[in-house]
Amino acid sequence: MTDIAEEVLAWLKPRAEEMEALLRRLVNIDSNSFDKAGTDAVADAVTEVLHADGIAVTRIPKTGFGDVLRAEVPGCESNSHALLLGHRDTVFKTGTVAQRGYSRAGDLAFGPGVADMKAGLVTNIFALRAIKAAGGLPFPVVALFTADEEIGSPTGRAEIEAAAKGARAVFNAEPGRVSGNVVTGRKGGASFHIKVTGRAAHSGVNHEAGASAIEALARKIVKLHALTDYRTGITTNVGVIKGGNTHNTVAPWAEAELDLRYVTLEQRAQMVAEIERIVHHDDVPGTSAEITPVATFLPLERRHSEALFGLYRDAAARAGFAVDGEFTGGCADSGFTAALGVPTLCGLGPIGGKAHTDEEFCRIDSLVPRTQALALALCSLPLR
Ligand SMILES: [Zn+2]
């Protein structure tokens, strides 16, 4: 254990109240992915805290979604950087804070995005501050704060991929699992919009002249759902359907939203081809169908997280807790960096659960130790 690691550990030790105060402040800013003013207000707060410690923050302007922040604690030698990831957006609609802002009961904190991932932002900010206070590492530590992860990172992805190029490691502070574990594997996901066009006809007068878009879609859904294979980890789910005009009209249109999850990039290519084949198959003469990709997340394959996990487990032991790696079907930005072949570990934020619900919680007593473990893991990254 180096002197810097000791210093970082000691600097973080008495920060629990300060960390909670920042968590309260960040949770109490509504920041739905589509609320640019809100996610930018979170960016302002993050910038203010980092600037107070003299940490450089670059703001990359975005239209439509919140700006991207890039903070950096320079390295004292020129080596490739380490990258911290965090998203400022939540799934909760603007106005949620007024109804149920930050609250605390015992060791649990509540509020919109408290675990996913305002607490993770706090972790990244304090890890940067601790490393800055210790005079920096032999390599730069860069942190990105993006604003549209919950909708598939339409603007964040390019920034994340650019920042990950050449990185020695990527650490994503998505919530730690309820078990206390971190995430060593994630499914990839993709969502699609399917639109079927048919031909309208009076269902009593000239039924035979119609071509039912609803029937065509229904036949496709049965085949799409049959692609699910729990053994290989592939799932398909049509979660939304719409279509038709009246009960006595042969339906001229029907639409569906499809979600696909997979474990490896190889599966992704196979499944996308299979889905396209099913959608374009002529199920009902006179109908036609189109499919449009909506959002894509790439998988975090275990082979990209293994080495970092070993290092993190040692860091966690030093910070006073035991930890294991866990696989989850949920997607995150860490898949984008792992897919580039950059060593990536996820779920390093404070422990939390019930994300995306009104009961979402964060374990306040995990703020300091999780941040210590992240900072120590950074300190122990091998030089190359
Ligand atoms: Zn998240």
pLDDT single digits (tens) 338-352: 999 999 999 999 999
Comparing 382 with 36, the larger pLDDT belongs to 36
Distance 31 CA to ligand 1 centre (A): 13
Distance 331 CA to ligand 1 centre (A): 9
| Residue 382: pLDDT over 90 | no
Distance 87 CA to ligand 1 centre (A): 7
Comparing 3 with 1, the larger pLDDT belongs to 3
| Residue 1: pLDDT over 60 | no
pLDDT on residue 77: 76
What's the rounded mean pLDDT across residues 64-82? 92
Residue 374 near residue 359, CB atoms below 8 Å: no
> Model-level pTM?
0.88
Q: How far is Cα 191 from Cα 226, in angstroms, rounded to an integer?
A: 17
What's the rounded mean pLDDT across residues 225-244? 97
Spatial CA neighbour of 301 closest among 348, 269, 344: 344
How does residue 131 score in pLDDT terms, banded at 50, 70 and 90?
A: very high
Q: Mean pLDDT score of the chain, rounded to an integer?
A: 96
pLDDT on residue 289: 98
How does residue 318 score in pLDDT terms, banded at 50, 70 and 90?
A: very high
How does residue 384 score in pLDDT terms, banded at 50, 70 and 90?
A: low
One-letter amino acid at 280 equals H
Is-cis flag, bond preceding 271, omega within 30? Answer: no
pLDDT on residue 383: 79
pLDDT on residue 231: 96
pLDDT on residue 76: 78
Strands (DSSP E) contained in 19-60 are 56-60
What's the rounded mean pLDDT across residues 263-279? 96
Through-space distance between the first and last CA atoms of the chain, rounded to whole angstroms: 18
pLDDT on residue 187: 94
Residues within 5 Å of ion ligand 1 by Cβ? 116-117, 174
pLDDT on residue 330: 87
Distance 88 CA to ligand 1 centre (A): 9
| Residue 130: pLDDT over 70 | yes
The residues near 198 (Cβ < 8 Å, ≥ 6 apart) are 210, 211, 212, 213, 214, 216, 250, 251, 252, 253, 254, 284, 286, 287
Q: Could you tell me the two tokens for 84?
A: 């911290």
Distance 172 CA to ligand 1 centre (A): 9
